[in-house]
Structure 1
Amino acid sequence: MRLRLTEFRPRTGPHEHRVVQPRHTLRHTSLTAPEPIGLLLGDHDGLSRLAGLFSFAAYSRHTVVHIPLRDGVPPDEGWGERVDLVLAHHSYGLRPSRWPGLRRALKAGAPLTVRTDEARTQRDADARLRRGTRADHRDEPRHATHARTFFLFGSRDDFALTAVNLAYAAGWGPRQKGVAAGRSAMVTGIRLKDGPGGGHPCEVVVSFKACPPYAHFKRPGD
Structure 2
Amino acid sequence: MELPVVIHRARLGAAEFRVVRPGRPLTRAVLVDHDRHLDVYLDREAARALAGLWMLAARSPRSLIHVPLRANRPPGGDVPDDSGSRLDLVLLHHSLQFAPSRWKQVRSRLGPGRPHTVSLPEAERDHGMTDADHEARHHRENRDLFHQHLHAETLFMTGSAKVFRGTAGHFLDVAREGPGHVPVHPNHPHFCTQFHGNDGTLGDAREIHVEYCDRWSS
Give the alignment's TM-score, normalised by structure 2: 0.83
User: 2:90 is matched by which residue type in structure 1?
Assistant: V
Aligned residues of 1:50 and 1:166 also touching (Cα < 8 A) = yes
The answer as to 2:49 corresponding to 1:70 is: no
1:200 maps to which residue? none
Structure with the higher helix share, 1 or 2 = 1
RMSD of aligned alpha carbons: 2.7
Q: Could you tell me how far 1:126 is from its partner in structure 2?
A: 6.6
C-alpha deviation, 1:50, in angstroms: 0.4
The answer to whether the Cα contact below 8 Å between 2:147 and 2:158 also exists between their aligned partners in 1 is yes
Shift of 1:145: 1.1
Matched with 2:33 is 33
Residue 115, structure 1, aligned to residue 109, structure 2:
no
1:127 and 1:157 in contact (8 A); partners too? no
Structure 1 residue 5: deviation in Å?
A: 0.7
Matched residue type, 1:154: G
Any idea what the Cα deviations from partners look like across 1:15-61, whole Å, max 9, x if unmatched?
A: 11110000211111110135111101101101111000101111100
Greater Cα shift, 145-154 or 29-38: 29-38
- Opposite residue 160 of structure 1, the aligned amino acid is R
Count of equivalent residues: 205
Provide closer, same or farther for how the CA distance between residues 179 and 160 of structure 1 changes in structure 2, counting only shifts above 3 A.
Answer: farther
* Letter paired with 2:169: V
- 1:9-48 counterparts in 2 under 5 A? 9-33=9-33, 35-48=35-48
Deviation at 1:144, TM superposition (A): 1.1
CA distance 1:182–1:211, change in 2 (3 Å): farther
Per-residue deviation, residues 62-107 of structure 1 (Å, max 9, x unmatched): 0110000123333334431110000001110111111000100111
Assess, with a 3 A threshold, how the Cα gap between structure 1 residues 186 and 173 changes in structure 2: closer, same or farther.
same
Q: Contact 2:74/2:216 (CA < 8 Å) preserved in 1?
A: no
Aligned to 2:211: 207
Q: Is the 8 A contact 1:137 1:193 kept in 2?
A: no
Q: Structure 2, unaligned stretches of length 5 or more?
A: 197-201
The superposition leaves residues 155-190 of structure 1 with CA deviations (integer Å, 9 ceiling, x where unpaired) of 111111221121011111123346886986242112
Are positions 1:150 and 2:160 aligned together? no
What amino acid does structure 2 have at the position aligned with 1:174? P
Seen in structure 2, the aligned counterparts of structure 1 residues 141 and 72 have a Cα distance that, compared at 3 Å, is same
- What is the aligned partner in structure 2 of residue 219 from structure 1? none
Distance change (3 Å), C-alpha of 1:105 and 1:210: same
Partners in 2 of 1:212 and 1:179 — Cα distance?
19
Matched, 1:168 2:173: yes
User: Do the aligned partners of residues 128 and 155 (structure 1) sit closer, same or farther apart at CA in structure 2, a change above 3 Å counting?
Assistant: farther
CA distance in structure 1 between the aligned counterparts of 2:155 and 2:110, rounded to whole angstroms = 18
Match 2:97 to one of 93, 97, 102:
93
Contact 2:182 2:189 survives alignment (8 Å): no
Distance in 1 between the 2:153 and 2:183 partners?
Answer: 31
Unpaired runs of 5+ residues, structure 1, are 197-202, 214-222
Distance in structure 2 (CA, Å) of the matches to 1:123 and 1:39: 20
